[in-house]
Amino acid sequence: MAVGDAHEALPADNPEVLQFIHERWRQNELDQLDREFVRVIEDMIELLMSKDLILFTDLPPKVQEKLLRRKEIREKQYDDGAFRMGNDDIIQL
């Protein structure tokens, strides 16, 4: 079946198709791990600040901006009810 301008069809078990699917799956997995790791870093920064080991103002201005923006977005999602539906971003240890 042709899709868009594509005129070639390959069987699902074709090695090239399988390689393509595998690469996409790996990239999606890496993207998910990156998002989770960003949250770990945020939590570590919060922990260090709560223990007065670093100050928020010790962080570079761009980092401060990003942390504030992410916190703002998470709070907005929570206020909108997104986290009450089981979609919270608390990392389980």
pLDDT, tens digit, 9 for 90 and up, residues 21-59: 888 888 888 888 998 999 899 999 999 999 999 999 999
DSSP 1: -
- Entry pTM: 0.55
Asked if residues 45 and 20 have their Cβ atoms less than 8 Å apart, the reply is no
Asked if residues 80 and 28 have their Cβ atoms less than 8 Å apart, the reply is no
Amino acid symbol at 20: F
Q: What length does the chain have?
A: 93
Out of 40-44, 78-82, 88-92, which region has the weakest mean confidence (pLDDT)? 88-92
Extents of the domains making up the chain: 16-83
